[in-house]
């Protein structure tokens, strides 16, 4: 049984009285403990997919299945599934009126997880992310990288089994992004968490994921997936011959669709 | 560094600001005094500040019950307005049909000077506190409601998405996201309501009855007791200023951004 499965999911938005088909017949599977990336050009519906999985928005058609439990347009997501998922936003999305620690612990408050062990786990994660020094400050004093870190910690504080990340490092500079990527891989290996990671950066996708779904636009759809087998997943992989080949392959897949449209 | 310290000397910061304000007030009072004495203005036209302060002290026991009555009505009416305006905004926020029905009326109440119906209220309810209290509430709750609802609607959708992602209940969403996000806007309405409440109360007192600072001002002017009339004006101003300052203080405690 797959950890996450989407079957025939499509999504229409109403924008200025016009129907916009943002997603068309999406099928994908993510196995337990897998690290999956979704790559595609801007506007192809990557955020829409991940928001449907997290039940932030409802699909127009199709079903989502997590741990064998189904939810869709009419069937609400069961309570126990909500706690299995953590969502990292494109911007850090911290509340400016809460301190960093209060922000991080907000999911605990909402889920009613009050015990000592939860607070201690939060402290452990804050420490692990190197944020102990800034935990009692307000978010406005944090750098972008630090804010984004806090966003990741907030998504993990209730020990989810699935981490949904919507271009979490897209707004960071190259060096910071690389460092965050490596740390994320460490966390993933340690915890065995299932990750869906969205990006439009192909080399980021190749470096991070075991499998990448490739998307195209108009309408937003999945045009294929690549299994990525790299010997090492760290910064040294960036100069690996296979790494370059994978990037090239994905680039060509996306590019060929673009050409098709041009003709 | 040098730049910022120079700016601070010019009255930034709490103490500097206060010093400048006190100096300015002193200058105005001094000018007032000089003009009245210099041009020999009769006291029934304009008393000197010294006479007014004298009356504020000497006639305090006479004025105090009226000051008390005015501030009681203003504060009570203000708290009712805030509670009513805010809870109505929450109801409207979660219930769009109700909102569409009553919002136009509340908008209308904001535009119409409700002072115009005070004589009617007094006709129905007499010159007691009830009519005044109703006038105060009618005049000040709509502005609380309007500002609160507008700020609820302007909450960053991404912040709401976090609540949605965690499947927070309505109550949790209100408590943890909407209310704190809207707090600055809510306070804009609350502070306006404080001003409107005082205006509505004093005006109602002027319209009828014989309690409250407004009524006293009318009586003292009729007897040409100008220092006493001005003393009442000063007490009204003092109360308004204190009220506003306390709200600003509470605002600074609650709004952390
Ligand atoms: N709430 C909405 N109402 C109307 N249209 C929407 C809405 N949300 C998204 N869309 C549209 O759906 C399409 C897909 O949007 P989505 O945000 O999922 O793309 P994306 O792949 O995440 O893009 P990006 O890389 O820019 O983040 C876009 O054309 C967008 O304009
Ligand atoms: Mg997106």
Q: How far is A181 from chain B (nearest CA, A)?
A: 23
ipTM: 0.91
What pLDDT, on the 0 to 100 scale, is given for residue A260?
A: 47
What pLDDT, on the 0 to 100 scale, is given for residue B1?
A: 40
Give alpha helix (H) positions in chain B: 2-9, 14-38, 49-58, 60-94, 96-111, 118-125, 129-153, 157-165, 170-173, 179-207, 213-222, 226-254
Residue among A154, A164, A174, A231 at smallest CA distance from A194 = A164
What pLDDT, on the 0 to 100 scale, is given for residue B4?
A: 47
Alpha carbon of residue B253 to chain centroid: 19
Q: Is residue A105 situated within a structural domain?
A: yes
Exposed / middle / buried, residue A74 (Cβ in 10 Å: 0-12, 13-18, 19+): exposed
Q: What angle do CA B85, B89, B91 make, to 5 degrees?
A: 120
Ligand 2 centre from A222 Cα, in Å? Answer: 15
What pLDDT, on the 0 to 100 scale, is given for residue A62?
A: 93
pLDDT band at residue A246 using 50, 70 and 90 as cut-offs = confident
CB contact under 8 Å between B166 and A89, yes or no, is no
What pLDDT, on the 0 to 100 scale, is given for residue B257?
A: 60
Residue among A58, A12, A9, A18 at smallest CA distance from A38 = A9
Say if residues B209 and B33 touch (Cβ distance below 8 Å). no
What pLDDT, on the 0 to 100 scale, is given for residue B152?
A: 96
pLDDT band at residue A261 using 50, 70 and 90 as cut-offs = very low
Find the CB nearest A56 among B159, B161, B181.
Answer: B161
Residue among B172, B170, B176, B166 at smallest CA distance from A81 = B166
Exposed / middle / buried, residue A141 (Cβ in 10 Å: 0-12, 13-18, 19+): exposed
What pLDDT, on the 0 to 100 scale, is given for residue B13?
A: 60
Tell me if residue B74 falls in helix, strand or coil: helix
Residue B11 has pLDDT above 80, yes or no: no
What pLDDT, on the 0 to 100 scale, is given for residue A10?
A: 94
Q: Is residue A189 situated within a structural domain?
A: no
Say if residues A218 and A43 touch (Cβ distance below 8 Å). no
Q: Is residue A77 situated within a structural domain?
A: no
Residue B5 has pLDDT above 50, yes or no: no
A79 shares contact with chain B (CB less than 8 Å): yes
Strands, E assignment, A16-56: 18-30, 35-39
Alpha carbon of residue A72 to chain centroid: 20
Tell me which chain B residues have a C-beta less than 8 angstroms from the C-beta of A54. Answer: 165
Residue among B109, B139, B107, B112 at smallest CA distance from B204 = B139
What pLDDT, on the 0 to 100 scale, is given for residue A201?
A: 87
For ligand 1, is residue A263 a contact (CB within 6 Å)? no
Report CA-CA distances (Å) from B10 to A20, A61, B31.
57, 64, 23
| Greater model confidence, A243 or B154 | B154
* Assigned token pair, A77: 């997501």
Residue A263 has pLDDT above 50, yes or no: no
Which residue has a Cα nearest atom 15 of ligand 1?
Answer: A45
Q: Is residue A198 situated within a structural domain?
A: no
CB contact under 8 Å between B158 and A55, yes or no, is no
CB environment A25-40: b (16+ within 10 A), e (fewer)? ebebbbeeebbbbbbb
pLDDT, tens digit, for every residue of A18-69? 888 999 999 999 999 999 999 998 889 999 999 999 999 999 999 999 998 9
Which residue has a Cα nearest atom 14 of ligand 1?
Answer: A45
Say if residues A52 and A226 touch (Cβ distance below 8 Å). no
A111 shares contact with chain B (CB less than 8 Å): yes
Tell me if residue A171 falls in helix, strand or coil: coil
CA-based R_g, chain B, Å: 23
Q: Which of A12, A13, A60 to mutate to test the pocket of ligand 1 (most atoms within 8 A of CB)?
A: A13
Residue B12 has pLDDT above 70, yes or no: no
Q: Residues B162-177: what's their mean pLDDT?
A: 95
User: For ligand 1, what atom is nearest to the CA of residue A11?
Assistant: 12
Q: Which of A16, A17, A47, A221 to mutate to test the pocket of ligand 1 (most atoms within 8 A of CB)?
A: A47
Q: How far is A247 from chain B (nearest CA, A)?
A: 32
pLDDT, tens digit, for every residue of A170-226? 888 888 898 899 999 999 998 999 999 999 888 888 889 999 999 988 889 999 888
Domain span at residue A110 reads 92-160
For ligand 1, is residue A44 a contact (CB within 6 Å)? yes
Cα dihedral A208, A86, A109, B158 sign = positive
**Domains of chain B: which residue ranges?**
1-41, 45-254
CB contact under 8 Å between A89 and B158, yes or no, is yes
Say if residues B140 and B79 touch (Cβ distance below 8 Å). no
CB contact under 8 Å between A95 and B159, yes or no, is yes
Fold of B45-254: MetI-like fold (1.10.3720)
Residue among A166, A205, A202, A211 at smallest CA distance from A49 = A166
For ligand 1, is residue A221 a contact (CB within 6 Å)? no
For ligand 1, is residue A47 a contact (CB within 6 Å)? yes
Q: Is residue A96 situated within a structural domain?
A: yes
- Measured CA to CA, the distance from residue B201 to residue B70 in angstroms comes to 7
Ligand 1 centre from B192 Cα, in Å? Answer: 40
Which residues 112-141 on chain A approach chain B with CB closer than 8 angstroms?
A: 138, 140
Tell me which chain B residues have a C-beta less than 8 angstroms from the C-beta of A82. Answer: 166-167
- Measured CA to CA, the distance from residue B106 to residue A19 in angstroms comes to 35
pLDDT, tens digit, for every residue of B13-65? 666 778 888 999 999 999 999 999 999 988 888 999 999 999 999 999 999 99
For ligand 1, is residue A43 a contact (CB within 6 Å)? yes
pLDDT band at residue B3 using 50, 70 and 90 as cut-offs = very low
Q: How far is A83 from chain B (nearest CA, A)?
A: 8
Average pLDDT, chain B: 90
CA-based R_g, chain A, Å: 19
CB atoms within 10 A of CB A169: 26
Q: Is residue A112 situated within a structural domain?
A: yes
pLDDT band at residue A253 using 50, 70 and 90 as cut-offs = confident
| Greater model confidence, A168 or B115 | A168
Give alpha helix (H) positions in A16-58: 46-53
What pLDDT, on the 0 to 100 scale, is given for residue B2?
A: 44
Beta-carbon contacts below 8 Å between A and B: 53
- Measured CA to CA, the distance from residue B14 to residue B11 in angstroms comes to 8
For ligand 1, is residue A45 a contact (CB within 6 Å)? yes
- Measured CA to CA, the distance from residue B132 to residue B204 in angstroms comes to 6
Taking CA atoms, what residue in B is nearest to A82?
B166
pLDDT, tens digit, for every residue of A134-147? 999 999 999 999 99
CB atoms within 10 A of CB B65: 12
Q: Note the pTM of the prediction, 2 decimals.
A: 0.86
Residue A140 DSSP code: G
Ligand 2 centre from A198 Cα, in Å? Answer: 8
Q: How far is B99 from chain A (nearest CA, A)?
A: 24
Residue A231 has pLDDT above 80, yes or no: no
pLDDT, tens digit, for every residue of B77-98? 999 999 999 999 999 999 888 8
Count of domains observed in chain A? 1
Report CA-CA distances (Å) from A10 to A7, A31, A52, B194.
9, 21, 10, 52
Average pLDDT, chain A: 89
What pLDDT, on the 0 to 100 scale, is given for residue A171?
A: 85
The tokens 């690389």 sit on which residue?
A: A178
Q: Residues B213-233: what's their mean pLDDT?
A: 93
CB atoms within 10 A of CB B78: 26
């Amino acid at each position: 049984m797959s950890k996450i499965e989407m079957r025939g999911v499509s999504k229409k938005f109403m924008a200025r009285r016009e129907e916009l088909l943002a997603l068309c017949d999406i099928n994908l599977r993510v196995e337990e403990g897998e690290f999956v990336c979704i790559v595609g050009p801007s506007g192809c519906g990557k955020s829409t997919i991940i928001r449907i999985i997290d039940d932030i928005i409802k699909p127009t058609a199709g079903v989502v299945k997590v741990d064998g439990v189904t939810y869709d347009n009419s069937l609400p997501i069961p309570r126990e599934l909500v706690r299995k998922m953590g969502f990292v936003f494109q911007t850090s999305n911290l509340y400016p009126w809460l301190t960093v620690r209060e922000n991080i612990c907000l999911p605990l408050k909402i889920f009613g997880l009050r015990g000592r062990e939860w607070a201690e786990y939060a402290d452990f994660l804050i420490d692990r992310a190197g944020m102990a020094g800034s935990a009692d400050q307000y978010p406005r004093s944090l750098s972008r990288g630090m804010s984004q870190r806090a966003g990741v910690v907030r998504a993990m504080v209730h020990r989810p089994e699935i981490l949904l990340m919507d271009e979490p490092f897209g707004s960071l500079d190259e060096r910071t992004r690389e460092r965050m990527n490596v740390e994320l891989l460490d966390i993933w290996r340690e915890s065995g968490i299932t990750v869906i990671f969205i990006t439009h950066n192909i080399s980021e996708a190749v470096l991070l994921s075991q499998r990448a779904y490739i998307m195209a636009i108009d309408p937003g759809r999945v045009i294929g997936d690549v299994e990525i087998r790299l010997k090492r997943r760290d910064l040294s992989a960036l100069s690996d011959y296979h790494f370059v080949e994978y990037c090239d392959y994905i680039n060509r897949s996306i590019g060929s669709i673009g050409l098709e449209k041009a003709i | 560094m040098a730049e910022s310290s120079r700016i601070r000397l010019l009255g930034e910061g709490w103490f500097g600001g206060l010093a400048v304000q006190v100096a300015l007030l002193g200058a105005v009072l001094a000018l007032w005094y000089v003009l009245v004495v210099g041009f020999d203005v009769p006291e029934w036209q304009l008393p000197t500040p010294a006479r007014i302060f004298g009356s504020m002290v000497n006639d305090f026991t006479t004025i105090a019950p009226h000051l008390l009555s005015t501030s009681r009505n203003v504060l009570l009416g203000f708290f009712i307005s805030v509670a009513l305006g805010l809870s109505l905004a929450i109801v409207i926020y979660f219930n769009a049909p109700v909102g569409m029905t009553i919002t136009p009326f509340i908008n209308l109440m904001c535009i119409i000077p409700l002072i115009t119906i005070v004589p009617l209220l007094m006709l129905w309810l007499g010159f007691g506190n009830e009519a005044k209290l109703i006038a105060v509430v009618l005049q000040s709750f709509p502005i609380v409601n309007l500002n609160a609802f507008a700020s609820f609607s302007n909450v960053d959708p991404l912040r709401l998405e976090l609540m949605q992602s965690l499947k927070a209940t309505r109550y949790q969403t209100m408590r943890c996201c909407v209310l704190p996000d809207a707090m600055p806007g809510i306070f804009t309405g609350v502070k306006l309501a404080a001003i409107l409440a005082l205006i509505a109360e004093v005006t109602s007192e002027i319209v009828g009855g014989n309690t409250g600072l407004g009524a006293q001002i009318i009586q003292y002017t009729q007897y040409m007791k100008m220092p006493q009339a001005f003393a009442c004006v000063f007490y009204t101003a003092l109360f308004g200023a204190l009220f506003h300052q306390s709200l600003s203080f509470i605002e600074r405690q609650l709004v952390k951004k």
